[in-house]
Amino acid sequence: MIGGGLPSGWMRRFLLFLVLITGIFLIAMYTHAPPLVSLKPFTPKRTFHSPWSWVCVANRCERKAVKTPQKSLAACMAMCGGNDRLLWPKPTGNVILGDGSVMLTIQQIKFITTTASNQEVVSLLEHAKDVFIGNIRNLERSSNIKEQSTIDKFEIHLNTGGGQSTRLLLDTDESYKLEVNLKERVLYGRITANSYHGVRHGLETLSQLFWWDESTEKQGLAVLSNVLVVDKPTFHYRGLMIDTGRQFFPVSELKRVLDGMAASKLNTFHWHISDSQSFPFDSSVFPQMARWGAYSSEETYSPEDIRDIVEYAKIRGIRILMEIDSPAHAGAGWQWGPEFGFGDLALCVDQEPWSSYCGEPNCGQLNPINKHTYKILETLYKELLDLTEVRDIVHLGGDEVNLECWAQYSNITAAMQMQNLTDLHSMWADFEGKVLQRIIRANHDEIPKAAILWSSPLTKRPWITLHFDPKLHVIQTWGGSAWPETGDLLEDGFRVILSHVDAWYLDCGFGKWRETGEAACGEYRTWQTVYNHRPWRDYQATINLILGGEVALWSEQIGQASLGPRLWPRASAFAERVWSDPLSSSYLTEESVYTRLASHMDLLQNRGLKTEAMWPQWCSQNPGKCL
C-alpha cells in the first residue's frame, strides 16, 4: 500500500487491461475503415433533370426537348395510339381505350365479388386479387414520394357468372368482358365472365392498363378511366413446354415461368419432367426412381414441390400437364429393377455406340415385355394425376423410339411371335395401348378427352389409322411446318397440337453441344419468326381439329440464368398468335406489334422476370424510328 491508495499490482493489471482494449479498438477501426477516397465530405447525388418529354403525334409518341412541364414516356404510351396499344396479347373482340386517366393509390383499390358460391372459386379469387395487387405494386418507382390521387376509390366488381368449376378443361369458357368508367370521384371496374379463368384473364388485362407516371408535375400510379374490352381466346390449348430432364430448374425458376405465362395468357405448362439423362421426380411410392436417376439429392421434385407449383399455376389460370416420356427417352432412374427383383425395366441403357440406339447420349428405352414396367408407370402417373388434378388430358410421350434397340433382344422377338405381332411398329403400338389402359386405371377409371402423343413414325400412315382412335388420341406435331404429317393427320380426322420445330422450338440456334452426330436443330428462331407462324392458314377446312399450339424449350443448352431470356419475348409472341391470331396487312410485322411487345417486356421485367432485349433502348424511347 502507498499512502492508502490502490495496490500497485492491481493498478498494473488495470492499466494493462486498458492498453489491451485500446489496441483491439484501434485494430477494429483499421480493419473496417473505409478507403481514403470515401473520407471526402459527403455529397448527395445530383438531381437529374432530363429535357425530354413525349408527345402524341399521329398515334405515335415522339420525343421532344421542352421547357414546359414534361410528360413521361409511360404516360404517353398509355394515352397514345388509338385502341391498338398497351395490351398483350391483343384482344379478339371490341376494344375501347379512352384517353382519360386518373391517379390513385393501391390502398384505394377495393374488390366486390358476386355470384361466386363455390368456396374454392371464392378462395381462388382471393388469391387472384393478391396477385393483381402485387403486379400493380411492382410498378411503383419510389417509396419516398407522397403519391397523388384524383379519385376517392377504385371499386372493382368481379362476376364469375354461373361458372363454379375451378378445373381448366378443353371446353372451359375463358372469355371475359372488362369495363372501366369514372363517375364523379369513384372509378368503377367490372369484369364479367363465365368462369374463374375468364375473371383471371380480365384482371390480367386490367393490370396492363396501369402505369407509373413520372411526369414533372405529378408522380404516382395512374390508370385509364374509360375502357371496354371484350375478349376470348382463339384456341383452347395454349402451351409452353419445359424440359427438366436434361437440366434441373428449381421450383422458384419454374414459378417465374408461370408468371410470364399468366401475363401472356398461356394456359398449359407442359412439364417434360424426365428424360434418359435424369429422373428428378421423387416418387413417394417408388423413391428408387429419383435415387437412381436424379443428378443429385438436391435436384429433385418432391410431391410437395409439385403440389406447390400446381397451386401457384392454378391461381394464374394455368394447368400443369405432366409427361414421363416413354418408351424412349427413359434411361436414368430405370436401372434398379434387377436389384429389386423386377428384372430389366429399361433396355439399351448407356449402350454404345449410342448413335445406333438413341438420338443422343445416354440411351435408354423401356422394356415392352416386362409387366413391372407398366405397373411402375401406372403408379407414377397416379401420383402425378392426383397431384395435378388434370384428368381430361394426359401426355403419353411416345417420340423417337429406336426399333433397333428392341430388335437385338431375342425374348422380345419371341414375345412378338406369341402375340402374333408381325412388326416392331406393332410392338410399339401395343406398348402405347397398354400404357394408356394403365393410365386410365390410375385416373380413377376416367377416360381422358385427349391422350396426347408426340408425332413419330408410328403416327404416320398406315400405323396411325391401324392403332389409334381419333376420338381419343391427339397428336402433338413437332416436325417441320412443310412436312406432310400435319395435313395427313387432319385428313384422317385426328386432333392436333402444333409445335413445328422450324418456328416454335425455342432451344435452337446455339450450335452443337457435341462433336459427332446431329446436335443442333438449325438457326435461332427470332420472335418475328415465332410471331409470323400461322400454320392453320393451310388447314382452314379442318381448323376445328386444331386444339392449339405449344412452344417447346428443350434444355440441352439451357441453364438457370438463361431460362428467362430464352423464353421472353419469344413465348409472348407465340402467346398472342394462339390467343388472338391477329391479321396482318402485309408480310411485315406491324409497328404496333413491336411497341406493344416492347412494353410487355417492360411489364415482365417489372414483375421480376429476366427477358432478352428486343432492340436498343433508344428504339423504345423513340417509337417508330427504328422500323
The residues annotated as belonging to the active site are 275, 329, 400
Q: How far apart are CA 246 and CA 519, in angstroms?
A: 14
Q: Which residue has the cell 429393377?
A: 337
Q: Write out the H or E segment, with its range, that includes residue 274.
A: strand 268-274
227-231/210-213 β-pairing: unpaired
Give strand ranges (E) for 336-403. 346-347, 365-366, 393-397
DSSP 497-545: EE--HHHHBTT-SS--SSSSS----SS---HHHHHH--GGGGGGGGGGG
What's the farthest any 2 CA atoms get from each other in the chain?
A: 119
Write the CB contacts of 491 (distance below 8 Å, at least 6 apart in sequence). Answer: 542
Closest CA to 429 of 450, 460, 405: 460
Side-chain-side CA neighbours of 614 within 13 Å: the count stands at 27
Cell numbers for 139: 410498378
What gap in Å lies between CA 578 and CA 531, rounded to an integer? 10
The residue among 577, 549, 504, 478 whose CA lies nearest residue 264 is 577
Q: Which residues of 242-256 are buried (b: 16+ CB within 10 A; e: fewer)?
A: bbbbbbbbeeebbeb
CA dihedral sign of residues 602, 604, 610, 613: negative
Record the cell numbers describing residue 452, joined without a space: 396426347
Return the C-alpha cell found at 50.
Answer: 432530363
φ, ψ of residue 569 in degrees (nearest 5): -90, 0
Other beta carbons within 10 angstroms of residue 440's beta carbon come to 17
Check if the beta carbon of residue 60 is closer than 8 Å to that of residue 80: yes
Name, in order, each residue with C-beta under 8 angstroms of 602's C-beta and a sequence gap of 6 or more.
Answer: 620
d(CA 213, CA 56): 16
The per-residue b/e assignment along 174-191, b for 16 or more CB within 10 angstroms, e otherwise, is bbbbbbbebeeeebbbbb
Q: Of 1, 91, 51, 64, give the one whose Cα is nearest residue 582.
A: 91
| Calculated CA dihedral for residues 441, 445, 447, 448, nearest 10 degrees | -70
